[in-house]
Amino acid sequence: MATTLVFLFTSCLFVKASGTDNLISDEAIAVEFLHNYNEQVIKAFYTGSLAEWKYQTNLTEENKQEMVQADLVYAEFEQAAFRNASRFNVSAFSSEIQRQFRLLMYIGDAALEDKSKLKRLQDVKAELQRLYATTMVCGKPGDEDQSKCYSFDPDIAELFATSRDYSELAWAWVGWHNASGLPLKELYSEFVELNTLAIEANGHTDMLSLWQWIYEVDDLEEQVLEMYDTLKPLYLNLHAYVRRKLIGVYGEDYVNPKGAIPAHLLGNMWAQQWHNVYYLAEPYPGRQPIDITPTLKAEGYTPLQMFQIAEEFFRFLGLLPASEEFWQNSLLVKPDDGREVVCHASAWDFIVGNDVRMKMCTVATMEDFIVIHHEMGHIQYFLQYRDQPFVYKDGANPAFHEAVGDVMALSVSTPEHLYKLGLVDSFENDPENDINFLMKMALQKIAFLPFGLMVDLWRWKVFSGEITPENYNTMWWQLRMQYQGIVPPVERLDEFFDPGAKHHIPANTPYIRYFLSFVIQFQFHKALCIEAGQLDDGKPLHRCDIHKSLKAGKKLADMLKLGKSKPWMDAMEVLTGQRIMDATPLVEYFRPLIDWLEVENEKNGDTLGWDPTWRPPPPQRYTSTGSQIVTSYSLILSVTSWMYFIVQ
């Protein structure tokens, strides 16, 4: 069956030039080739995507093997397309045709011609996904039933969002990092070796080289580091302020006034966003509430209703409604039929017709409400560029795709907009409410920046060979200390593999796109706010809500329709009038909070930065009865049944 499928996909890719040994310079033949390619690649891509969807929504061995086989078939298709495309001399073709050939001839894993290595790479990737997605943490101290296990979504995530118990959080943090990371280390090392062969087969030296090609720049690392240097003072002031607030909860023994912050105290497993500790850091307590989670839960909002609210926002901008296929085929809640699924939220484009989908284990929280808008941004992008050739069905660069939904969320998050939706009872624009709102946003946006940067700084060094399996963990924590000022709650030796505890590492999902998107979303936001006339009367950028602005919607759609048909600089210019990624609007958005933090930190004598040598003391562990305290944390470091368990 697979051989027949490959033949059908490849036999009509190229006809006129078959049998010739010379490079073809006739652009008319090239255009015909591209037409045939686009007709066939859609079928091949759909088959592969459907198999991957089936696996991620039902993690069985049978579905895994079906997905791997589909990936191999698609790889054969891409190899055939590459061989045929290589027979053209594109140098004299128009820039449009040259661009399509340039993008077509990057074929990813399929560049590995050794079929056994290619199959092993696909097997390893699938197994990394399965191991991560099925991780459970068991044996929580205090549980009567020590065999009770907890999944990340929603159990562990909710614990981090709601618990402020130092030892309970340490149990969950250590349990998750060991359970999800340890089993992946050897497999990830093999993945790096195989994936490096695929990168080299595509003509690149390492992963950074490849991603610079994707971003169409030759200095990606330098650009992101320079961008972060501009934004670093914002983070240092936020870090110092939050550290002081945490001292008020845990005391100076556990949070040092000049040290890094223990990683498990910031309301998120990876300390990547800190909004769940907002109520500890709230500048002016007792003002208008800006967390809609209680309302969502109290009024019984369903995941479907939350998605409908998000889709309505896009429609009121004059943008495209979600397709019928979206509502029919998406997985919006965690199945209750016993299936294991990959719960990490993701948007899918099946290319055929309007078949776009969401996969998300949604719960009624403000965090998921915002995530939904982010993911619906991907869906909108898919629909807007649906008429482009296959190679252009992508964002102008990966950060554009991530930024689109977040731009919508910047409007949706404003207290005034939440009031319009009936999700908060009242709102009042005044300086104290503004500072509270900006603090909540900073705990999401500013707190994320160093983590968004360091994940791929680590990964690039892994793929360049600078970081080896022997020091995966040491270098991970060196970078987290350097950029985030974060320290693990217990010593993390090189036998562990803490990078594997973050979904995007085993899934091999690039991460620098998120860092860049957290910058350019404010650039997009300002441009759309200007188009909507929201800033005409001196309204500050952080109060802008583009809701129902057809002018702003059209400007955004004009950029989205381009897909990847133009270099991202051109797409940026269509929307913003600029040809660079600019951090200035982000600084403008947070300017009132920046000024407030600088005064507040100076008044309290807070130290900006951290002593990299300080370590927190071992957390205490309660026995199952809760009556005895065990201060020796060697039990947590040992691999025992109470600490973690992996569902096979």
Residue 322 has pLDDT above 50, yes or no: yes
Spatial CB neighbours of 87, under 8 Å, sequence gap ≥ 6: 14, 17, 20, 23, 24
Is residue 100 situated within a structural domain?
Answer: yes
Is residue 240 situated within a structural domain?
Answer: no
* pLDDT tens-digit series, residues 419-473: 999 999 888 889 999 999 999 999 999 999 999 999 999 999 999 999 999 999 9
Is residue 88 situated within a structural domain?
Answer: yes
Reported as a pLDDT band with limits 50, 70 and 90, residue 552 is very high
Is residue 276 situated within a structural domain?
Answer: no
Is residue 13 situated within a structural domain?
Answer: yes
Is residue 309 situated within a structural domain?
Answer: no
pLDDT at position 620 is: 76
Spatial CB neighbours of 336, under 8 Å, sequence gap ≥ 6: none
Distance CA 258, CA 240 (A): 9
* pLDDT tens-digit series, residues 352-387: 999 999 999 999 999 999 999 999 999 999 999 999
pLDDT at position 621 is: 59
In the three-class reduction of DSSP (H, G, I as helix; E, B as strand; rest coil), residue 339 is classed as coil
* pLDDT tens-digit series, residues 100-148: 999 999 999 999 999 999 999 999 999 999 999 999 999 998 888 988 9
Domain extent, residue 93, equals 2-105
Rg (CA), the chain: 25
Residue 15 has pLDDT above 50, yes or no: no
pLDDT at position 622 is: 34
pLDDT at position 21 is: 56
Angle in degrees, CA 455, 461, 462, rounded to 5:
90
Residue 13 has pLDDT above 70, yes or no: no
- Angstrom CA distances, 381 to 130, 375, 510, 522, 558, stand at 28, 10, 19, 18, 11
pLDDT at position 149 is: 94
Domain count, the chain: 1
Average pLDDT on 38-47 reads: 96
Is residue 176 situated within a structural domain?
Answer: no
Whether the CB-CB separation of 588 and 605 falls below 8 Å is answered with no
* pLDDT tens-digit series, residues 601-648: 999 999 999 999 999 998 875 322 222 223 333 333 333 222 222 232
Is residue 18 situated within a structural domain?
Answer: yes
Q: Is this prediction's pTM over 0.85? A: yes
